Amino acid sequence: MENQITELIRKDNGCSAHFRYSYQGHKVRVKLVTFNPKHRSTFLVHEIECKTRFEALTDILQYVKDRVRDEEKCYSVTWKMKENGLTPRTSKSSEQMSSIGKTKNNNTTQNKNNEDKDEHETTASDNIISISSQSNSKKGTDEYGLTTSHFYAQDIYQLLEKFFYDKNKDDYIIYKIQLNPNS
């Protein structure tokens, strides 16, 4: 059954699937974790506790097959590792950088009247507006090192739990979390 689950995930998004088992008394807890080779990150997909390993894998297989997860919402998370910095990976012409700066300045002017935001928040928000229009490369990240990953979760707390699974929270910056419409 592990092979079925692994193959479904590989066909869906090119990720490899890994199973982490722990036993607590007469129960088994199984965590399905994916590894994305494009940006070399792991994420928690689903976690379940059952009486037997077979029952847990059966439930996980059903979860992976079930495209319409009635109890969960679909989210997109735009993020990067802090050590990458916000400098472009490829060199930009001064005209391109100037155009990004102009977009940023226009957005700053629009947000200037918002007293609830401090200067740092406005700048980060403006950079996202400028950067989000950039296309993704084959590596799964854009030229600024931003990556967008997709999750199913019951709420934003579970989403963050899945995103930060087995990670140091201080190593990542989340620029945007978007709730996607149900498809």
C-alpha atoms less than 13 angstroms from C-alpha of 37 in its C-beta half-sphere: 8
pLDDT of residue 141: 65
Predicted confidence (pLDDT) per residue in 104-139, tens digit = 344 333 333 333 433 333 333 333 332 333 333 344
Q: What is the structure's pLDDT at 182?
A: 74
Tell me the per-residue pLDDT of 34-68, one tens digit each, with 9 for 90 and over: 999 988 999 999 999 999 999 999 999 999 988 65
Average model confidence (pLDDT) across the chain: 75
Per-residue pLDDT band at 147 (split at 50, 70, 90):
very high
Whether residue 20 is predicted with pLDDT greater than 90 in this model: the reply is: yes
Query: What is the reported pLDDT for 140?
Result: 57
Q: Which long-range contacts (CB under 8 A, 24 or more apart) does 11-20 make?
A: 14/38, 17/45, 18/42, 19/57
Contacts of 165 (CB under 8 A, 6+ apart): 31, 33, 42, 43, 44
Dist. CA 141–CA 131, nearest whole Å? 11
Tokens representing 133 are: 């229009």
The model carries a pTM of: 0.66
Summarize pLDDT for 79-92 with one digit per residue, the tens.
Answer: 999 874 443 333 33
Domains assigned to the chain: 1-66 (3.30.160), 86-131 (no CATH)
Instruction: Tally the residues of the chain.
Output: 183
